[in-house]
Amino acid sequence: MELTVQRARNIINALKNGVVPDCDLEFLCVGRNREIKEFQRCFQVISEGSGTVKFLNGEYGSGKSFFMNVIKQAAVKNDFIVSKIQVDRGFRFNNLEHLYYHVMHNLTLNITGSSVSSFESIFDLWISRLQESANKDSAAAEISKVISLLNRYNLSFARAFLAYIRARIEKDRALSDAIASWLMGEKNIPANLKAKFDVIGNVDRLNSMDFLKAFVELIKLLGYSGLVILIDELELIMSDRVDIRRVSYENLRNIIDTCCSGELGSCMFVFAATNDFFENPEKGIKTYEALTQRLGDAIDKSNSVMYDARQPVIRLQKLSTEEFQELTDRIIEIYKILYNFEPMTSNESIRSWTFISCRKFGAKLSELSIREYLTKLIEVLDIMEQHPENKLFTSELKAVKKGDTEVYINRNQR
C-alpha cells in the first residue's frame, strides 16, 4: 500500500472521529466493484455529451454517504466539476432556483493535481491564458465563440459572463465579484452594479435550468469533462407537506427527463436515499406514478446473480462478514504505516474483538453501520498500540457460526 505517514494520519484521524476522509477513499472502498465500474461507465457517457441520473438506495449503515464521496473523488480525478449537497432545512428540493444556488456554491474541481472549491478557480487558468496569448485576435475569437454558444441557452448568462471576463482582465475586483455572485444565484446584488454588466432580475424558478445548461456548456468549452451533482439524504423530502412534496417529485421527474433526453448533456445527477423513499406507499415516490415508472424496478432485488448495476436505482448492500474482514485488513495496514505498529494477534481476531466491542454498546451485527465499525476498530487498535502490556485484545478470538448465530471462542477452547 503506497501511503505516506501524513496520508495515513489523515485517514485514521478522520475514521477515529466518525467522518469520511477527504482523500484516498480507494483504500477503504470494499465490496463495491460493480458499482464503481458502473460509475466509470457513466463518466464516459457524460464526457461524450450525454446526461444521466442515478439513485443510490440503501439502509442506514450501508455506506451511501461514503460511496457518494467515492464518486466525488473519482469524478474530480476524471476532470469533472463536482457539486455535493444534501437535502436539509437550508435546502429543499421543491425550489429549482435553490437547487441551482446550492450547486453553484458547492463546486469542487481539480487544478494542477489538487482539489479546490471555488467558482472563480474554474476560469482563472483560462483567463490567464487569454491574457498571456501573443495572438490577441485568436484570444478575442475564442471569447466570441464561447459567448455565442452561451447565447443559445440564456442571453443574460452570456452577457454577464462576457462582462466577468472583461472585469477580470481589467482587474476590477468589485465588479467581477458581483458578477460571479449573480451568476451563482445570489439575489442581493445592487441594481447599480447589475446595470454595469447589463442584466436585470435574478436566477429564478423559470430560468434556473437554463442557467445550469449554460454553466455546463461553459465548463465543457473550457476543457472540463462535465458536471456531476451529488445530492444526499433525498428521503427528507418525505417530511415535507404533501403539496411541497408533490412539487419536489415533479422537479425530480423534470431533472430525469431533461438529463436523459439529452437536453441537459454532459451532466449527471446522483441521488442517495433510504429504502423507505422508494417503497413508502404514502409519502415516497410511489405516490407519484410518473416518477415510479421512470425509475423502474429490479427483476429480483434480493438476487445478487441477477444484479443490474445499469438500472437507474443502484441498491447498496451492507458488507458481508468477509468484506468486513477485508476492510479490517486494509485499516490495519494503514495503521501500521502511521504508528509502525505490529499487532500481537491476527487480523481475524481483531475483527472479532471489534464486533464484540460494537455489540457491547448495543449494535447488532445485522444493523452495524460501516461508520460504527470503523470507529470502534480504530479504538481497539489504539488501545492495543498504547497499552502493549494489556492482554485484553491479544488472545485469538475466532468467530464460529452456530446455526443462525455467530459466537466467538478463544483458540484454546474446544
Say if strands 397-402 and 405-410 run parallel, antiparallel, or are unpaired. antiparallel
Instruction: Determine how many CB atoms are found less than 10 A away from the CB of residue 164.
Output: 22
Instruction: Print the domain residue range for 261.
Output: 5-119+211-315
Separation CA 320–CA 31 (nearest Å)? 8
Q: 204 in a domain, yes or no?
A: no
Residue 365: predicted pLDDT: 65
- pLDDT per residue over 304-357, tens digit each? 556 788 889 998 888 888 899 999 999 999 999 999 999 888 999 999 888 888
Q: How far is CA 111 from the centre of its chain?
A: 18
Please check whether residues 335 and 256 belong to one and the same domain: no
Contact between 223 and 233 (Cβ < 8 Å) = no
> 413 φ, ψ to 5°?
-80, 150
**Do 9 and 114 belong together in one domain?**
yes
d(CA 329, CA 31): 13
**Lookup: cell for 62:** 450501508
Domain assignment present for residue 201? The answer is no
Give the cell for residue 376.
Answer: 470502534
End position of a domain, from candidates 315, 350, 365 = 315
- Mark whether 329 and 365 lie in a shared domain: yes
CA distance 248 to 210: 18
**Do 187 and 328 reside in the same domain of the chain?**
no
Q: For residue 180, is it within any domain?
A: yes
Co-location of 374 and 231 in the same domain:
no
Say if residue 236 is in the same domain as residue 133.
no
Q: Are residues 230 and 258 in the same domain?
A: yes
* Cα gap 176→345, rounded to integer Å: 61
Same domain, yes or no, for 369 and 335?
yes
What's the one-letter identity of residue 311?
Q
User: Looking at 196, 221, 246, which one is the last position of a domain?
Assistant: 196
| Domain match, 185 and 244 both | no
3-class secondary structure, 199: coil
**Does residue 61 sit in the same domain as residue 20?**
yes
Q: CA-CA-CA-CA torsion for 280, 286, 288, 290, nearest 10 degrees?
A: 160
Q: 183 CB contacts (<8 Å, ≥6 apart)? A: 104, 119, 157, 160, 161, 164, 211, 215
> Is 35 within a domain?
yes
| Other CB atoms within 10 A of residue 249 CB | 21
Structural domain includes residue 176: yes
Residue 258 domain-assigned?
A: yes
Strand order in the sheet with 267-273: 114-116, 107-111, 81-86, 227-232, 267-273, 51-57, 313-315
In a structure prediction context, what are the per-residue pLDDT tens digits for the chain, which is 414 residues long?
Answer: 578 999 999 999 999 988 888 788 888 889 899 999 999 999 999 999 999 999 999 877 678 888 999 999 999 999 999 999 988 878 889 999 999 999 999 999 886 555 666 788 888 878 888 887 778 788 888 889 999 989 988 999 999 999 999 998 888 999 999 999 999 999 989 888 899 999 988 999 889 999 999 999 999 988 899 999 999 999 999 999 999 999 999 999 999 999 999 999 999 999 999 999 999 999 999 999 999 888 876 545 555 556 788 889 998 888 888 899 999 999 999 999 999 999 888 999 999 888 888 876 555 666 778 888 899 999 999 999 998 887 777 777 676 555 445 666 665 544
Last residue of a domain, one of 147, 165, 196: 196
Q: What total of structural domains would you count in the chain?
A: 3
Cα distance between residue 327 and residue 88, in whole Å: 31
Does 185 fall in a domain? yes
From the list 53, 128, 123, 66, the residue with the least C-alpha distance to 291 is 53
Count of positions (residues) in the chain:
414
The CATH number of the domain holding residue 89 is 3.40.50.300
- Same-domain status, 297 and 252: yes
Residues 115, 219 share a domain: yes
Contacts of 385 (CB under 8 A, 6+ apart): 335, 339, 341
Residue 205 falls inside a structural domain? no
Whether residue 316 contacts residue 62, with contact meaning beta carbons closer than 8 Å, is answered with yes
